[in-house]
């Protein structure tokens, strides 16, 4: 794999959720592959969603200290900043592909990061949105 792969928050959350079963294993495996190939990227939105979910919404939450350590580890994967242009692009993606604004922000950030793929379970597997191929790692 040579192209960049954008990781959605659900994949990052599963990788650190001790109760996620097979999703945890598959997510952790994919993240490990991306670390080794240096092809992983994500956005500050993903980091924000990760922190809230793993400290407040999963069955066995991480401590804030442990969650912050994960944030520090993945911070280098943020390759571009969310700007007003990103938000505007997300609104266009939402209109064009009829996606939620939240999903459109993820796609816009992936596009801005020049990712070839977006790992997520939230969108249609193998669909191309704004030039980014959607990959559901649990299929």
- 88-134 pLDDT per residue, tens: 999 999 999 999 999 999 999 999 999 999 999 999 999 999 999 99
User: Please, are residues 46 and 12 in contact by the beta-carbon 8 Å criterion?
Assistant: yes
What residue segments make up the domains of the chain, in order of their start?
A: 4-135
CA 132/CA 139 separation, integer angstroms: 18
Bridge partner list, 40: 5
Q: Classify domain 4-135 by CATH number.
A: 3.40.50.1010
Tell me: pLDDT of 2 over 70: no
Mean pLDDT of the residues in the chain: 97
Per-position b or e across 62-72, b if 16+ CB within 10 A of its CB: beeeebeebbe
Among residues 38, 35, 32, the alpha carbon closest in space to that of 15 is found at: 32
CA 99/CA 59 separation, integer angstroms: 28
pTM for this model (two decimals): 0.96
């Amino acid at each position: 794999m040579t192209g960049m792969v954008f990781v959605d928050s659900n994949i990052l959350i599963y990788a650190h959720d001790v109760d996620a079963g097979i999703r945890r294993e598959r997510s952790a495996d994919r993240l490990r592959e991306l670390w080794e190939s240096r092809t992983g990227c994500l956005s500050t939105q993903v980091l924000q969603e990760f922190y809230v979910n793993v400290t407040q919404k999963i069955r066995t939450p991480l401590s804030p200290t442990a969650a912050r350590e994960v944030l520090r580890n993945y911070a280098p994967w943020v390759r571009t900043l969310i700007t007003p242009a990103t938000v505007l692009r997300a609104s266009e993606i939402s209109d064009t592909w009829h996606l939620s604004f939240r999903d459109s922000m993820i796609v816009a950030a992936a596009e801005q990061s020049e990712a070839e793929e977006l790992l997520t379970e939230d969108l249609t597997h193998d669909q191309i949105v704004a030039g980014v191929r959607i990959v559901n790692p649990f299929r």
